[in-house]
C-alpha cells in the first residue's frame, strides 16, 4: 500500500497570503496524484488531478506541481472560502489511498 | 446536473449487516466506474471499494475484503455497498463517488452515516 504523508498538519495563514501544501508518497506515483478540498459538513471537491491539471471550475489561484514522490498544492492568494482541509490521493496502485490531510486555518 | 444520493445508513449492532444505495442522475451512469469512500468521525478519507462501469471488476481495501461487496444496477442507475459482519471501526460517513477518469473522483454524494454500536 502506498502511504501519502501530508505536511504540515495545520497551516495558519491570513487571507491574501500564499499557501503551500506538501504531499509525499512512499513510492513513485509518476504524476498520478489528485488534490481535494473539504469544508465542514460537505463532501470533498476535486481541485487538481494528474498532479497539475485543474478540475472544471477550479479557480486559477489553485495550482499543483510535482512528480515521483513529492507533490505540492499552492494557493497563490487565500480567499475566505479557501479555509478548509485539503487531501491528496494517489491512483498509481490499488488500494487507492489518501493522505491524512492539511487543515488551512485563519490566522 | 450530476447528482449522487446515498441512503441506507443507520445504527447497527456489531456483526450485523447493512446495505447502502447510491442513486445517480444527470450523467450516463453505465459509462463510469464508481467508488465508495468513507470518513470516520473527525478523521480523514479512506477509499473503500470500486466497481468498473459494467460491473465486471471490483476492488477493495484490505480491511473490508470478504465482508463488503460493491455492486451496481445500470438499469436503475444505482450503486450498492453490501456490508456484512460490521465492526465498530466501520463507523463512518460513506460517500459514493463518480470517477472523472482513471480513479479520480469528480462528483460525490452528500454521504450517509453508518454507526456500528451495541
Cell numbers 500500500 correspond to A1
d(CA B32, CA B49): 14
Chain A residue with CA closest to B38: the answer is A43
Tell me what percent of chain B is helix, strand and coil, each rounded to the nearest 5: 10, 50, 40
Q: All 3 cell numbers of residue B83?
A: 456490508
What residue has cell string 460513506? B94
| B42: closest chain A residue by CA | A40
Mean pLDDT on B99-118: 94
Q: How much is the average pLDDT of A13-17?
A: 97
Q: Does B5 touch chain A (CB under 8 A)?
A: no
> Are the Cβ atoms of A55 and B100 closer than 8 angstroms?
yes
Given this model, what pLDDT does residue B41 score? 96
pLDDT at B102 over 90: no
* pLDDT tens track for A26-81: 999 999 999 999 999 999 999 999 999 999 999 999 999 999 999 999 999 999 99
The DSSP letter of residue A18 is: -
Query: Does A2 lie at the interface with B, CB-CB under 8 angstroms?
Result: no
pLDDT band at B104 (very low <50, low <70, confident <90, very high): very high
> What are the start-end ranges of the E strands in A14-99?
19-25, 33-38, 45-49, 53-54, 62-67, 70-75, 85-90, 97-98
State how beta strands A10-13 and A102-106 pair: parallel
The 8-class DSSP code of residue A23 comes to: E
Give pLDDT tens digits for B65-84: 999 999 999 999 999 999 99
Q: Does A71 touch chain B (CB under 8 A)?
A: no
Cα distances from B60 to residues B36, B50, B85, in angstroms, run: 10, 7, 16
Q: What is the pLDDT of residues B24-68, one digit of tens each?
A: 999 999 999 999 999 999 999 999 999 999 999 999 999 999 999
Amino acid at each position: 500500500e502506498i502511504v501519502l504523508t501530508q505536511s504540515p498538519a495545520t497551516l495558519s495563514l491570513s487571507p491574501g497570503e500564499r499557501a503551500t501544501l506538501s504531499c509525499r508518497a512512499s513510492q513513485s506515483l509518476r504524476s498520478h496524484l489528485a488534490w481535494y478540498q473539504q469544508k465542514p459538513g460537505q463532501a470533498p471537491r476535486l481541485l487538481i488531478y494528474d498532479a497539475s491539471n485543474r478540475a472544471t471550475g477550479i479557480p486559477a489561484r489553485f495550482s499543483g506541481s510535482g512528480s515521483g514522490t513529492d507533490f505540492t498544492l499552492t494557493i497563490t492568494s487565500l480567499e475566505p472560502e479557501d479555509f478548509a482541509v485539503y487531501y491528496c490521493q494517489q491512483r498509481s496502485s490499488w488500494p487507492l489511498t489518501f493522505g491524512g490531510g492539511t487543515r488551512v486555518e485563519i490566522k | 446536473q450530476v447528482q449522487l444520493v446515498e441512503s441506507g445508513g443507520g445504527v447497527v449492532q456489531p456483526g450485523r449487516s447493512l446495505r447502502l444505495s447510491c442513486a445517480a442522475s444527470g450523467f450516463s451512469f453505465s459509462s463510469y466506474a464508481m467508488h465508495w469512500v468513507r470518513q470516520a468521525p473527525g478523521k480523514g478519507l479512506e477509499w473503500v471499494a470500486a466497481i468498473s462501469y459494467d460491473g465486471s471488476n471490483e476492488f477493495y481495501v484490505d480491511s473490508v475484503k470478504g465482508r463488503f461487496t460493491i455492486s451496481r444496477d445500470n438499469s436503475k442507475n444505482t450503486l450498492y455497498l453490501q456490508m456484512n459482519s460490521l465492526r465498530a471501526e466501520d463507523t463512518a460517513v460513506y460517500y459514493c463517488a463518480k470517477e472523472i477518469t482513471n480513479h479520480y473522483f469528480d462528483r460525490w454524494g452528500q454521504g450517509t452515516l453508518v454507526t456500528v454500536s451495541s
